[in-house]
Amino acid sequence: NAGVMQNPRHLVRRRGQEARLRCSPMKGHSHVYWYRQLPEEGLKFMVYLQKENIIDESGMPKERFSAEFPKEGPSILRIQQVVRGDSAAYFCASSPRGGIAEAFFGQGTRLTVV
Amino acid sequence: QQQVKQSPQSLIVQKGGIPIINCAYENTAFDYFPWYQQFPGKGPALLIAIRPDVSEKKEGRFTISFNKSAKQFSLHIMDSQPGDSATYFCAASPRQGAQKLVFGQGTRLTINP
């Protein structure tokens, strides 16, 4: 059973470009969480999704950030018009039920904005 | 009030020593306190967790101590090994089934041979 798969592992974008981060949850998991980790800081909650639904996006910046988890395919975290401050590691976690305690984290996507 | 404060930021211990990492919180609604271990280039992995109805929990060489009145909890690693070198994060949530965690800032632990 493969773990939570995130791709790409590393992503470099120029300021103003779009970044798309993908997360394929573990088999049988229908709940996905996105966290952001700035350098030398802990992880900060961004959004919690179930298939086709955003349940809690209280940690998402109001502009430029969006997330989806379609019926088929991976969850996508999309950042439009990236700025240097978006440089961070973005982690996805998935769980079989709606509890972060049972969630497994992926290896993360490290976004660098140049 | 949503913060979890973790210390120290970094810690170096000799093999066999007992590193201790401390966390403090303010929100009395927090009811579930996990610790995560993160190796470079990897995602965090759940190590051990505690609820406030117990004062201590042990799993192998890892022990959580919990002081509800002081709103503090700590991780102890017994007989530490170089393979324990990693970044450790404490976290908290209102309940075990909650959908989000508040993480501490992390402690970079190095165990010297």
How far apart CA A100 and CA A103 sit, in angstroms, is 5
With CB atoms and an 8 Å threshold, state whether A42 touches B98.
Answer: no
More confident position, B56 or A100: B56
What's chain B's average pLDDT? 93
Among candidates B100, B104, B113, B97, which has minimal Cα distance to B35? B104
With CB atoms and an 8 Å threshold, state whether B32 touches A101.
Answer: yes
Return the DSSP state at A26.
Answer: P
Chain A residue numbers with beta carbons less than 8 Å from the beta carbon of B102 are 45
Write down the pLDDT at residue B12: 98
Quick check: A96 contacting B, CB < 8 Å? no
Which amino acid, A76? I
Write down the pLDDT at residue B1: 59
Strands A75-79 and A65-68: antiparallel
Is A1 a residue whose pLDDT tops 60? no
Half-sphere exposure of residue A69: CA atoms within 13 angstroms, side-chain side: 23
A19-B40-B50-B63 Cα dihedral, nearest 10 degrees: -170
Among candidates A112, A71, A105, which has minimal Cα distance to A89? A112
Count of C-beta atoms within a 10 Å radius of residue B85: 16
Q: pLDDT tens digits for B61-108? A: 999 999 999 999 999 999 999 999 999 999 999 876 777 899 999 999
Which secondary-structure segment (H or E) carries A55? strand A53-56
